[in-house]
A = this chain, B = another copy of it.
Amino acid sequence: MIRIADNLQITNKRVSEAVERMDLAPIQELVRLMEKNGAQAIDINSGPLNREPARKMKFLVEAVQEVTNLPLVLDTANPIAIEAGLSVCKNKRIINGVSLEPKKIETILPLANKFDAEIIGYLLLPDGHVPQSLDERLSLAIQLYQIYVDHGLDPKKLIIDPVLVPVMWQNGIVQAKDILDVIRQLPDVLGYPVQTVIGLSNLTAGQGYQKEKLLLERTYLSMLASAGLSMVLMNIFHTETVAVAKACNTIMNQTVFSWETGLI
């Protein structure tokens, strides 16, 4: 299970100001810290970038790849920003992402082929709503897979995000458990070792106590790992969650164990 750090966000004031001023230093300092804390990929959450999307995403990608060789995840709904970012990206790249929304399939999906990128596909209804059952989620995965193949793309480069919802939602816990089953069943349903990703912080979005939120996230993360999750988008500064993610890899990777080599 690969740890994608979600900490480079435009909603972070230091990040947004650095982007406005085209100031490399704060971005690069943050990225170095993310890698030091266990990031194995960097999500660049630029938001919609309504003004100067190409210039700003290029700045972000170039700033980040100057200080790390980790894969970059270009996280925006703006296809202009994605295309510009990919055009300068030298690291391994992932587009975040598409769904069955027609506009996204039309404008974002072709970029995966053009720039040889992996792409995250959300299990959302075409109108953007969250599906309510296990069967509905598996059906959406089949549709996404089919569209991917129809566009001549390698399905191994599709990373499916079953879209975690907050446990605070009325049926949030039921959906959290369904999502474990989705991850476990996708390889059988689609017939190959499907890559999957989860945005962990979604689980505890909304009001609540931080200590209990993190406990629930860590516990659920172990369950996701044992269901076979490939990647987790997470706050890389949650040290205990990172430790649990490493312990998950120790158990799931089936290597000979010694305390000396430690957790990975």
- A211 to B: closest C-beta gap in Å: 9
* A173: contacting residue among B170, B221, B256, CB under 8 A: B256
A208 at the interface (CB under 8 A from B): yes
Q: A212-B263, A219-B251, A244-B219 are in contact. Are A256 and B170 (CB under 8 A)?
A: yes
Among A209, A247, A257, the most chain B Cβ lie within 10 Å of the Cβ of A257
How many angstroms between the C-alpha atoms of A227 and B172 in the bound complex? Answer: 19
Q: Which residues of A contact B (CB under 8 A)?
A: 167-168, 170-174, 176-177, 180, 207-209, 212, 215-216, 218-223, 225-227, 243-244, 247-248, 250-259, 262-263
Cα distance, A207 to B257, chains bound together (Å): 12
Other A-B pairs, 20, CB within 8 Å; known A212-B263, A215-B244, A223-B225: A168-B257, A168-B258, A170-B256, A173-B251, A173-B255, A212-B259, A215-B247, A216-B250, A216-B263, A218-B218, A218-B222, A218-B244, A218-B247, A219-B222, A219-B244, A219-B251, A220-B251, A221-B222, A222-B223, A223-B223
